Amino acid sequence: MVTYGSTVLDDDLVFKALADPTRRYLLDRLFVRDGRTLTELESELEMTRFGVMKHLRVLEAAGLVVTRRKGREKLHYLNPVPIRLIHDRWIDKYTERRVSALTDLKRELEEAQ
């Protein structure tokens, strides 16, 4: 059984949320200007309100969007931290190895001269 604790600490939700062009587009819109309402976001997409809502829910479940109530409005904020966590956990690890492999290669070639 997947517990709530393991769900909120799970990278899978982030990867799944990012694996969709509409959701990435919504994140890009929030990156340009944060704290938007559903109505504002909906106006930039050729999609039903319900469709946009569904995508925002997936982003929220993955922690990529955080919502805040302001009076009667619900504002959506981009939370870049889960992407940073993936970067630190996965991308940094492999790119660093690649960089060091190139450095090693350079040293070997220079020493061989």
Q: Which residues bind other proteins (CB under 8 A)?
A: 3-5, 8-9, 34-35, 63, 66, 68, 70-71, 77, 79-85, 87-88
CB of 55 to other proteins, least distance (A): 19
Query: How far is 9 from 107, CA to CA, in rounded Å?
Result: 41
Residue with Cβ nearer other proteins (39 or 48) = 39
CB of 14 to other proteins, least distance (A): 11
- The four Cα atoms 39, 74, 48, 12 give a dihedral, to 10 degrees, of 130
**Type and span of the H or E element at 74:** strand 73-78
Cα of 52 vs its chain's centroid, Å: 17
Residue with Cβ nearer other proteins (22 or 37) = 37
